[in-house]
Amino acid sequence: MRVVGLIPCRLKSTRLPSKALLMIDSFPLIVHTMKRAQLAKSLDDVYVCTDSEEIAHVVHSHGGKPIITKSEHTNGTERIAEAAESLEADLFVNIQGDEPLVDPNHIESVIAEHAKHPEWDIIVPSLPIARPEDPHIVKIVHDVNYRIIFLSRSVIPQPFNHRPGFFLKHLSVISFKPEALQRYASLKPSPLQISESVELLRALENGMVLGTILLDGDSISVDIKEDYVRAKVLMISDEFRKLY
């Protein structure tokens, strides 16, 4: 089975301008994400998909493989779908470019789970969180067979009778069957996707099968300055940093 990692990355981020090129422990943020993805042995190749020549140059100068994409994509899934059109793979794994501390073991686990569930179009892994009130964190609920029922920025499940021991958050290491990725890109933004601003609701609303796997550990997306400061501190003692 051939599996390719695709890292969507754009320069014009709104809340933290040019965050992909911010330096963390001697490397730009996007290079950390790329090099950690390359540590996942189940990935046969890794590409950074971007509309920025500057990011492409940085990626290439650090030994990576950039793919230039159109600038008008509305989200990262659309961006990697364009890149995937020129590639061959049995699975494509979307690894968000703003996660410089992405865990290679999470990537391995997602790939292994998708191999066990070929009937699933997409796998969106989840991590437990104790406090789900932050609307910037996308929460997941699934059925007894780990098929995703809904994703939301709201607190789900709603603790009407009792509060669960933990809630689940969406982790941005997402595995796609090739046909599912291209179908997603062919669909128009859906009502719930627009309302929640959660891009994978487009797939769920159109009848695609999304599964999840519960993982251990944590993840950090660099969206604002405070996230960037935290990432720099955590990188100092990170176990994977010494491997690249």
Domain extent, residue 124, equals 3-243
**CATH value at residue 9:** 3.90.550.10
Average pLDDT, the chain: 96
CB 11 within 8 A of CB 55: yes
Number of structural domains, the chain? Answer: 1
Task: Give the pLDDT band of residue 170 (cuts 50, 70, 90).
Answer: very high
Task: Give the pLDDT band of residue 13 (cuts 50, 70, 90).
Answer: confident
Instruction: Tell me which amino acid residue 35 is.
Output: K
Q: What's the length of the chain?
A: 244
Task: Give the pLDDT band of residue 139 (cuts 50, 70, 90).
Answer: very high
What is the per-residue pLDDT across 186-216, written as a single tens digit (0 to 9) for each? Answer: 999 999 999 999 999 999 999 999 999 999 9
In 150-162, which positions are buried (b, 16+ CB within 10 angstroms) versus exposed (e)? Answer: bbbbeebbeeeee
Task: Give the pLDDT band of residue 15 (cuts 50, 70, 90).
Answer: confident
d(CA 33, CA 37): 6
Q: What is the pLDDT of residue 123?
A: 98
Nearest to 107 by CA among 42, 32, 180: 42
Helix axes 76-84, 178-186, angle to 10 degrees: 120
Burial bucket for residue 15 (CB in 10 Å: 0-12, 13-18, 19+):
exposed
CB 43 within 8 A of CB 36: no
Instruction: Give yes or no for a cis peptide into 157 (omega within 30° of 0).
Output: yes
Q: What is the pLDDT of residue 17?
A: 86
Across the range 140-148, mean pLDDT stands at 98
